[in-house]
Structure 1
Amino acid sequence: MRTLHLIRHGETNWNRERRAQGQQESVLTDTGREQARQLRQALRDIPVQAVFVSSSQRARETAEIAFSERDVPMEYCDLLREINMGPWEGQLYADIQKNDPQRYHAFWNQPDAFLLSGAETFADIQHRALSRLEKILAETDAGHIAIVSHGVWIKSLLCAIEGRDLADLWQPPAMHNCARSTIQIQRDGSRRITLYCDKPYEHPSVEIQNEH
């Protein structure tokens, strides 16, 4: 059995300001760095053998703290970056809601219908996430693999593996900063998902046959 650990980055200054980040750069807050240290502690007994990291600064910072005590290879990848939000990036969500209410509503309530010129759709990022995941699985035989990425990237991937529509992407559980989701890949190719947010809690596991 192989286990994937999908990790969202720690809190950033733009998270705190409620500002759309997308593929723009932001930095971890003191809280975000502490979340990464707590993650390091939570992973202390897990023999992670390979780490793949979004090339965004906030993900790199998180990974460098979380795996600072390990001699483990890290690979940085643009395909692990967050959804490209186009002209929204850098804006406060409150301003987006005021100036573009219909698309703002679609983003948070009908993600399958979200369409903004210059931005990725949720289908775009889901395809990107699935493609990169399959490449990671093909290029390493590590038993425990960590992927440090972003909320929408991880949520879109979990939707696909659980067999849920993109319309349900924002359904609970919430993807908090430094939340960890694990996917266990059985020898027959089936996948079992266990979700963690802040601290481990019960969530129904789902077994999905590998169709990708």
Structure 2
Amino acid sequence: MRHGETDYNRQRKFYGTTDVGINEVGRHQCREVETKLAATRVDQILTSSRRRTHESAAIIFPNRQYDQALFLDEWGFGRWEGLDADQIQAQFPVKWERWLADPFGYTPPEAEPYAIHEARIIDGFNQLVTASQQKTVALVTHLGTIRVILHHLFPDREFWDITLTQGHYTCLEMTDGTVKVIEWDR
């Protein structure tokens, strides 16, 4: 599931590694997910290293322990962090156009290359799946991370078309290498 809304989400800012908390709307969204998942058995809860995922997990799974998994961290945007698209275009017009033309191949200034970001997530996710047979694991993470995982599992889905609304969750069942969708953005 995606963390609850932050003020940066509302302002449409790029902020992968910027450590911000969730806002009041985000807390409400997390309470909605808590209600939706109240009857669901969860053996393990993992978050990224960012405060917004920790705050979300604490609301969704009250009185439960959760672990931090660095492979769930969001894509870092370097010098573009904290800026919206208009600000990036104004400050970095040529680099912005290069990124728009090739968002997976062009790396913004001081940002994490997408290939490294993707490999980190897929490697960590595959290790988790191997280690978590017969377990129900909840991931509280970021939209970019979710897109990488779901695109890896469902390569026929366009990366940018994969969405997960804040306040919703997606539930998958993985058995012997087969992935079954139980709930999608519910």
Same fold (TM over 0.5): yes
Name the Cα RMSD after superposition.
2.2
1:41 to 26, 35, 40: 35
Distance in 2 (alpha carbons) for counterparts of 1:147 and 1:105: 33
How many Å apart are 1:90 and its aligned residue?
1.7
Identify the range of structure 1 (58-67 vs 152-161) with the bigger mean alpha-carbon deviation. Answer: 152-161
2:179 to 180, 191, 201: 191
Give the % identical residues.
24
Aligned to 1:120: 112
Identify the range of structure 1 (174-183 vs 54-63) with the bigger mean alpha-carbon deviation. Answer: 174-183
Greater fraction of residues in strand: 1
Secondary structure of the 1:193 match is strand
Judged with a 3 Å threshold, the aligned counterparts in structure 2 of structure 1 residues 153 and 58 are, in CA distance, closer, same or farther, namely same
Distance in 2 (alpha carbons) for counterparts of 1:193 and 1:109: 32
Distance in 2 (alpha carbons) for counterparts of 1:34 and 1:131: 32
Distance in 2 (alpha carbons) for counterparts of 1:141 and 1:101: 47
Aligned to 2:60: 66
Deviation per residue, 1:115-144 (Å, 9 max, x gap): 223212333222111111122223334531
How many residues were matched structurally? 186
Judged with a 3 Å threshold, the aligned counterparts in structure 2 of structure 1 residues 64 and 97 are, in CA distance, closer, same or farther, namely same
* Structure 2 segments unaligned to the other structure (5+ residues): none
Aligned to 1:203: none
Distance in 1 (alpha carbons) for counterparts of 2:10 and 2:87: 15
Judged with a 3 Å threshold, the aligned counterparts in structure 2 of structure 1 residues 45 and 109 are, in CA distance, closer, same or farther, namely farther
Aligned to 2:7: 13
Identify the range of structure 1 (177-186 vs 149-158) with the bigger mean alpha-carbon deviation. Answer: 177-186
The correspondence of residues 133-148 of structure 1 with structure 2, limited to 5 A, is 133-148=125-140
How many Å apart are 1:103 and its aligned residue?
4.3
How many Å apart are 1:148 and its aligned residue?
0.7
TM-score norm. by structure 1 comes to 0.78
The correspondence of residues 22-171 of structure 1 with structure 2, limited to 5 A, is 22-69=16-63, 71=64, 73-101=65-93, 103-104=95-96, 107=99, 110-164=102-156, 168-171=158-161
TM-score norm. by structure 2 comes to 0.88
Distance in 2 (alpha carbons) for counterparts of 1:67 and 1:196: 20
How many Å apart are 1:177 and its aligned residue?
1.8
1:175 to 148, 153, 164: 164
